[in-house]
Amino acid sequence: MTILVTGGAGYIGSHAAVELLNNGYDIVLLDNLSNSQIESINRIKELTGKDFPFYPIDLLNRGELETLFAKYDFKAVMHFAGLKAVGESVEIPLNYYHNNITGTINLCEVMAKYEVKKLVFSSSATVYGNPERVPIDESFPLSATNPYGRTKLMIEEILRDLYVSDSTWRIALLRYFNPIGAHESGRIGENPNGIPNNLMPYISQVAIGKREMLSVFGNDYETHDGTGVRDFIHVVDLVRGHLKALQYLENNEGIETFNLGTGTGYSVLDLINTFQSVTSQKIPYQFVERRAGDIGICFANPEKADKVLGWKAEKNLEEMCRDTWNWQRNNPNGYETSNDILLHEI
């Protein structure tokens, strides 16, 4: 069974590719490499001992997408491709709307044309906006506070409309909480461009000596230690949830939404302290003002995924820190290659 993985060279897509290959799926991987490096493809092959075709295609290029769908008999699509930096989305909103929304519409149009109607979509807990309470379940009201979040919300709505128009679609909307960690081999991991926006990559770059000090954004939230609380989830647990969702779509019709989180909130200071104790690396930090747009507490009620998909997160915060550090110290400068050499041409 061949699965198309869009955005498969990126952080989460590369881990999903490994999990799919290790579970007997064939994959075709597509990525325009706008936020990833081709070396991740080589690492996926090395880790799994399996070969697969990679296409450096942009979802905005509908003609190339059609050629790809004409060539392969895809059974389903895991759709990770998208731009994801919240701050950047405020600066260049049109790029975000165009890339994420038009890209997804192109993909769905081509899927419909080739009768490939099973889709696993990367949504985000950002669609809950500033939740009234925690834990957050799937029925909570939806809102978004920035253009990136609005692309996720709009895509969810587009996919719901698509299902209403044609009930032969089978769609899983997976709302990720805060994915961190890396494959335990340390061969693939998160490889941010420039200064990391997110907490865990920033901590690990301080640990490796690339950044001097972490700024902790706010210590006056209503949390146990005043710093923000999040539902950190190991990326390998997260991608296992995708395989469960894929199996679900094989057996069930409809469009369903699932939170992918652990159900436990840890604070910024909890994460720093755990990282320090697991890795024996010192993380100097200072408290600074809250970051605009941040919320105090966010964690999931993950019961629906447990009941319906038979999935729950298994890895703890120590394992998330250990695996992040293993990736970072073995790859201090990430994948360190250029994208000049492209492997397969369509």
Catalytically active residues are 148
φ/ψ of 115, rounded to 5, equals 60, 35
d(CA 21, CA 45): 9
d(CA 145, CA 340): 37
- Residue closest to ligand NAD when measured from CB atoms: 10
Residue 82, interface with ligand NAD (CB under 6 A)? yes
| Stretch of residues binding ligand NAD (CB under 6 A), selected from 17-25, 32-40, 274-282, 298-306 | 32-40
Return the residue of 17, 21, 27, 31 that touches ligand NAD, per CB under 6 A: 31
Shortest distance (Å) from residue 88 CB to ligand NAD: 11
CA–CA–CA angle 197, 200, 201 (5° rounding) = 60
Q: Residues of 286-319 as b/e, b for ≥16 C-beta within 10 angstroms?
A: eeeeeeeeebbbbbbbbebbeeebebbbebebeb
Shortest distance (Å) from residue 167 CB to ligand NAD: 25
Cα dihedral value 107, 36, 238, 280, nearest 10: -170
d(CA 29, CA 12): 13
Binding flags for ligand WQD, 184-213, as an x/- string (CB under 6 A): -------------xxx--x-----------
> Can you tell me whether residue 202 is helix, strand or coil?
helix
Return the residue of 217, 219, 273, 276 that touches ligand WQD, per CB under 6 A: 217
The Cα-based distances of 243 to 23, 257, 327 in angstroms read 9, 15, 23
Shortest distance (Å) from residue 180 CB to ligand NAD: 8
Shortest distance (Å) from residue 345 CB to ligand WQD: 32
Return the residue of 29, 86, 120, 320 that touches ligand WQD, per CB under 6 A: 86
215 binding partner (options ligand NAD, ligand WQD, none; Cβ < 5 to 8 Å by kind): ligand WQD
Residue 291, interface with ligand WQD (CB under 6 A)? yes
Return the residue of 111, 119, 255, 268 that touches ligand WQD, per CB under 6 A: 268
Task: Kindly list the residues in this chain that would bind ligand WQD in the complex (CB under 6 A).
Answer: 84, 86, 124, 126, 178, 197-199, 202, 214-217, 228, 230, 268, 291, 294
